[in-house]
């Protein structure tokens, strides 16, 4: 379309088609994992254990029907969830086709003897925000902050798309997809203009575990950053970082995660011009009201090859959604890697 002069990502084309009146009414159909999560939320821990026993073949569906301690409604919910989990595990290739057929047919046969449900589960699931109704993909930001007592002004530009404190995309999971995040700072007291960050790509996927699935969470990023080294308290270096771990969910939409990481640093201010090491990071992401999302994090990396040093980082960021295309964030961060640095900043974000 004429509005895309250089490049476009899929969500941009969807929004353009919607603006041109080319799209019809959107119909929400929950994903299998979303339906499983909802149905599991309707059951207690003992009933969840019963579902797992049915799925794994430790008890039969006939045994469930014979239990006098469970009401008809509870049996319906247990069997409905059992059917969904069996189908999900087969799609994920966690069970063989003979197991799938045997367990599914037994569950469906038992379920048919209980009659129709009084509830259409899919219709009870809240419709999530539609992607085309979220903020636009490109972001320009300006703000002010303090770094070790020095005042700075900051300008940012990010072509795409979302970060862990964003409330418009994938609200029940931790998803970060950033390309070309460029940040510059001006320190008026020293009259210095510096490139603070040039992130080429930064992707984070935090998928919480449940009783029925154990997905891995992971991250990958690369680009130029700064850190406080012993010989330079604001050293520019190139970073290649990756991590893998596990995460969980609490209080509805709250997430917590733990990842093992490996990282390569390359830069002239680093001893031997490079450093390679590993460590761990942990954090939590949660909402505070309808328009605020918070991310608290900490990380420790020990670099044992090249220029040996240890990097400690801790911080937090709060993102406040003012309206669709205007957000406000407040961030505090501390890092030690030979010398130390603390900073606090507030940024106004404009999406376009």
Domain boundaries defined on the chain: 32-124, 134-351
For residues 140-164, give the mean pLDDT: 96
Please, what is the Cα angle at 347 between 341 and 350, to 5 degrees?
145
pLDDT > 90: percent of the chain: 77
What pLDDT score does 16 carry?
74
DSSP state of 306: E
Query: Could you tell me if 206 and 255 are in contact, meaning their C-beta atoms sit under 8 angstroms apart?
Result: yes
DSSP state of 210: -
pLDDT in tens, 339-351: 999 999 999 999 9
DSSP helix/strand/coil, 336: strand
What pLDDT score does 138 carry?
94
Q: What is the CATH superfamily name and number for domain 134-351?
A: Nucleoside-specific channel-forming protein, Tsx-like (2.40.230.20)
pLDDT at 170 > cutoff 70 = no
Handedness of CA 66, 69, 73, 79 (dihedral sign): negative
Candidates 106, 104, 109, 48; CA nearest to 77 is 48
pLDDT in tens, 137-147: 999 999 999 99
Confidence bin at 3 (pLDDT 50/70/90): low
Handedness of CA 338, 339, 344, 345 (dihedral sign): negative
Distance CA 276, CA 302 (A): 8
pLDDT in tens, 227-251: 999 998 899 999 999 999 999 999 8
- What value does the mean pLDDT of the chain take? 92
Q: Where are the alpha helices (DSSP H) in 56-132?
A: 61-65, 72-91, 97-112, 121-124
Query: Could you tell me if 315 and 282 are in contact, meaning their C-beta atoms sit under 8 angstroms apart?
Result: no
């Amino acid at each position: 379309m004429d509005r895309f002069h250089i490049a476009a990502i899929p969500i941009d084309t969807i929004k353009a088609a919607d603006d041109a009146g080319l799209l019809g009414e959107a119909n929400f159909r929950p994903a299998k994992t979303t339906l499983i999560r909802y149905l599991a939320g309707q059951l207690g821990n003992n009933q969840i254990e019963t579902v797992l026993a049915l799925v794994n073949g430790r008890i039969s569906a006939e045994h469930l029907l014979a239990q006098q301690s469970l009401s008809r409604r509870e049996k319906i919910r247990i069997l409905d969830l059992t059917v969904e989990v069996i189908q999900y595990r087969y799609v994920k290739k966690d069970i063989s086709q003979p197991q799938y057929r045997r367990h599914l047919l037994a569950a469906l046969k038992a379920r048919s003897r209980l009659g129709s449900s009084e509830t259409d589960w899919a219709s009870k699931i809240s419709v999530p925000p539609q992607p085309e109704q979220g903020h636009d993909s490109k972001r320009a930001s300006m703000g002010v902050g303090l770094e070790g007592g020095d005042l700075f002004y900051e300008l940012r530009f990010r072509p795409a798309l979302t970060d862990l404190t964003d409330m418009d995309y994938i609200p029940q999971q931790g998803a970060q997809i950033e390309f070309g995040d460029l940040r510059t700072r001006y320190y008026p007291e020293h009259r210095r203009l510096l490139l603070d960050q040039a992130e080429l790509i930064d992707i984070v996927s935090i998928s919480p575990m449940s009783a029925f699935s154990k997905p891995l969470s992971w991250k990958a990023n690369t680009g130029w950053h700064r850190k406080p080294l012993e010989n330079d308290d604001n050293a520019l270096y190139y970073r290649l970082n990756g991590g893998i771990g596990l995460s969980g969910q609490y209080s509805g939409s709250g997430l917590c995660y733990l990842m093992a990481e490996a990282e390569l640093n390359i830069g002239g201010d680093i001893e031997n011009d490079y450093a390679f090491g590993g460590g761990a990071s942990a954090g939590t992401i949660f909402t505070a009201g309808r328009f605020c999302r918070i991310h608290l994090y900490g990380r420790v990396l020990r670099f044992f090859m090249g220029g040996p040093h240890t990097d400690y980082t801790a911080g937090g960021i709060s993102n406040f959604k003012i309206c669709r295309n205007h957000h406000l964030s407040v961030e505090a961060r501390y890092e030690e890697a030979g010398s130390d640095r603390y900073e606090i900043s507030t940024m106004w974000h404009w999406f376009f």
